[in-house]
Amino acid sequence: MKKIEIGHGSGGRLTRDLIEKLFLKYLDSNELKPLEDAAYLRFENPNIAITTDSYVVRPLFFPGGDIGKLAVCGAVNDIAVSGAIPKYLSLSFIIEEGFLIKHLEDVLKSIKMTSEAAGVKIVTGDTKVVERNKCDGLYINTTAVGEIVTPLVIENISDGDAVIVTGTLGDHGTAVAIARNEFDIDASVESDCAALSGLLTPLFDIDGLKWMRDPTRGGVATVLVEVAEKTSLGIEIYEDKIPVRDDVRFISDMLGYDPLYLANEGKAVVITSHEAADEILNKLRLHSLGKNAALIGRITTKHKGVRLRTKIGGERVLDMLEDDMLPRIC
């Protein structure tokens, strides 16, 4: 059998065969193998962080990643930026009738590789099949659970704090835009899709770490506007300090995009005290995912909202993203 059939979602023999012969081939944790309605989990730490997300990216496979890698990384990163260590992950698949089983197997291989590298176990899941043309191939929902090490709350942010990004901005949004073949662009930009737990957990024991967020949809600009609104503080960022790849900047200029608003799937915004900024930058740059980490701005009480200091000495007010420049980006 080469394609998904409606019967694969029946809960009967075809469903069982799909789970046992394909899903368990790649997702083989001891917690998942019993195939019960719930997984029994053990935690040393009673303080738990939990997150959930859904992934509807188009196309399903793109330079630097695919929907499976994206689903794992997105959930892991949401836990990591919350000051917790990711431990367990659930996966739910909504599959369109006619979807190639080979493509499903490729996604599962990617999930296995990504989850193992991130140190998380797949412990429970679900599979549904919908009729042809009722779903764009494959959707995935994830729920991740982790153990809290350092609670990071936005109320910790104060005047003078440093704003750091862990690497170049806009890579994921640009890669997916090119992969859709909607633009006549010949460029080899790869998504930054990556699990950030290995990069961020070493920061948890640094005094002065205040808050983190992964800037996915809406990009860094939208994250910073949310911070300014929730804290009633101002943020000043410096255009010449913002790391953007030359090819991403060129393509953004050509398409009318702003890298500050493009999605990232392997970067974090880190807000830290002024005193801890250098230590955090140095630690980030020791990791391959943080080699381009940069301090891009400061928290201030001199004004409200987010202001960008341009390279030529001007000033631009940044607002939250209104329209979706690139729908179905994650």
Mind listing the pLDDT tens digit for each residue in 51-75?
999 999 999 999 999 999 999 999 9
CA–CA dist 128, 178 (Å, integer): 30
CA–CA dist 46, 319 (Å, integer): 39
For residue 84, the tally of other CB atoms under 10 A from its CB is 28
pLDDT category at 254 given cuts 50, 70, 90 is confident
Residue 284: which of 297, 264, 299, 268 has the closest Cα? 268
DSSP label at residue 86: E
The answer, yes or no, to whether residue 322 has pLDDT greater than 90, is: no
- Per-residue model confidence (pLDDT) at position 323: 72
Residue 281: which of 191, 162, 118 has the closest Cα? 162
For the chain, what is the mean pLDDT?
95
- The model's pTM: 0.95
Q: 2-13 pLDDT, tens per residue?
A: 999 999 998 899
Answer whether 294's CB lies under 8 Å from 164's CB.
Answer: yes
123-138: string of b/e by CB count within 10 Å (b at 16+)? bbbebebeeeeebebb
CA–CA dist 330, 319 (Å, integer): 22
The answer, yes or no, to whether residue 187 has pLDDT greater than 80, is: no
Q: Where are the domains of the chain?
A: 6-148, 154-318
Q: 162-176 pLDDT, tens per residue?
A: 999 999 999 999 999
Helices (H) then strands (E): counts for the chain: 9, 13
Least-confidence region, from 27-36, 88-97, 142-151, 295-304: 27-36
Answer whether 235's CB lies under 8 Å from 228's CB.
Answer: yes
178-187: string of b/e by CB count within 10 Å (b at 16+)? bbeeeeeeee
- Per-residue model confidence (pLDDT) at position 45: 86
CA–CA dist 5, 130 (Å, integer): 9
Radius of gyration of the chain (CA): 21
Q: Is CATH 3.90.226.10 correct for 154-318? A: no
Determine which helix (DSSP H) or strand (DSSP E) holds 164, and give its type and residue range: strand 162-165
3-state DSSP assignment of residue 201: helix
pLDDT category at 275 given cuts 50, 70, 90 is very high
The burial class, CB within 10 Å (0-12 / 13-18 / 19+), for 313 is: exposed
- Per-residue model confidence (pLDDT) at position 156: 96
The answer, yes or no, to whether residue 207 has pLDDT greater than 90, is: yes
CA–CA dist 122, 90 (Å, integer): 6
Q: 84-138 pLDDT, tens per residue?
A: 999 999 999 999 999 999 999 999 999 999 999 999 999 999 999 999 999 999 9
What is the CATH topology of the domain spanning 6-148?
60s Ribosomal Protein L30; Chain: A; (3.30.1330)
